[in-house]
Structure 1
Amino acid sequence: MTRPSTPLRRVRVVGTTGSGKTTFARRLAGVLGVPHVELDEVFWGPGWVKRDPDEALADVRARTAGPGWVTDGNWDSRLGGALDTTDTVVWLDYPRRVVMGRVVRRTLWRGITRRELWHGNRERLSSLLSSDPHQNVVLWAWRTHGSRATQYAALVDAPDCHVVRLRSPREAERWVRAVAAARTRH
Structure 2
Amino acid sequence: MRRIVVIGTTGSGKTTLARALAGRLGVPHGEQDAWNHLPGWQEAPREAFRARVAAFAAGDAWVMDGNYSKARDIGWARADTLIWLDYPAPVVFGRLLRRTLRRSLTREELWNGNRERLSAQFTRDGILAWFFRTHWKRRRETPALLAAYPHLRVVRLRSPGEAARWLASLTPEAAPVPPPRPA
Do both share a fold (TM > 0.5)?
yes
Alignment equivalent of 2:119, drawn from 98, 118, 126? 126
1:174 partner letter: R
Q: Structure 1 residues 161, 107: CA separation in 2 closer, same or farther (over 3 Å shift)?
A: same
Kindly indicate whether the alpha-carbon contact (under 8 Å) linking 1:57 and 1:80 is maintained by their aligned counterparts in 2: no
Q: Structure 1 residues 170, 80: CA separation in 2 closer, same or farther (over 3 Å shift)?
A: closer
Partner of 1:62: 55
Give identity over the alignment, percent.
49
Q: C-alpha displacement at 1:80, in angstroms?
A: 5.9
Partner of 1:31: 24
Q: Does 1:153 align with 2:143?
A: yes
Q: Structure 1 residues 80, 179: CA separation in 2 closer, same or farther (over 3 Å shift)?
A: closer
Deviates more, 1:154-163 or 1:88-97: 154-163
Q: Distance in 2 between matches of 1:80 and 1:15?
A: 13
Kindly indicate whether the alpha-carbon contact (under 8 Å) linking 2:122 and 2:128 is maintained by their aligned counterparts in 1: no
The alignment's C-alpha RMSD in Å is: 2.0
1:173 partner letter: A
Alignment equivalent of 2:74, drawn from 78, 82, 87? 82
Give the 3-state SS of the residue equivalent to 2:168 in structure 1: helix
Kindly indicate whether the alpha-carbon contact (under 8 Å) linking 1:155 and 1:163 is maintained by their aligned counterparts in 2: no
Q: Does 1:92 align with 2:81?
A: no
Q: Does 1:108 align with 2:82?
A: no
Q: Does 1:179 align with 2:170?
A: yes
Q: C-alpha displacement at 1:155, in angstroms?
A: 4.6
Q: Distance in 2 between matches of 1:164 and 1:106?
A: 25
Alignment equivalent of 1:168, drawn from 152, 159, 168? 159
- Give TM-score, length-normalised by structure 1: 0.87
Structure 1 unaligned blocks of 5 or more: 1-7
Kindly indicate whether the alpha-carbon contact (under 8 Å) linking 1:155 and 1:161 is maintained by their aligned counterparts in 2: no
Q: Distance in 1 between matches of 2:5 and 2:25?
A: 13
Partner of 1:72: 65
Aligned pair count reads 175
Q: C-alpha displacement at 1:154, in angstroms?
A: 2.5
Q: Structure 1 residues 64, 181: CA separation in 2 closer, same or farther (over 3 Å shift)?
A: closer
Q: Does 1:139 align with 2:132?
A: no
Kindly indicate whether the alpha-carbon contact (under 8 Å) linking 1:92 and 1:166 is maintained by their aligned counterparts in 2: yes
Partner of 2:15: 22
Alignment equivalent of 1:43, drawn from 30, 36, 43? 36
Q: Distance in 2 between matches of 1:93 and 1:129?
A: 24
Q: Distance in 1 between matches of 2:143 and 2:92?
A: 17
- Give TM-score, length-normalised by structure 2: 0.89
Give the 3-state SS of the residue equivalent to 1:127 in structure 2: helix
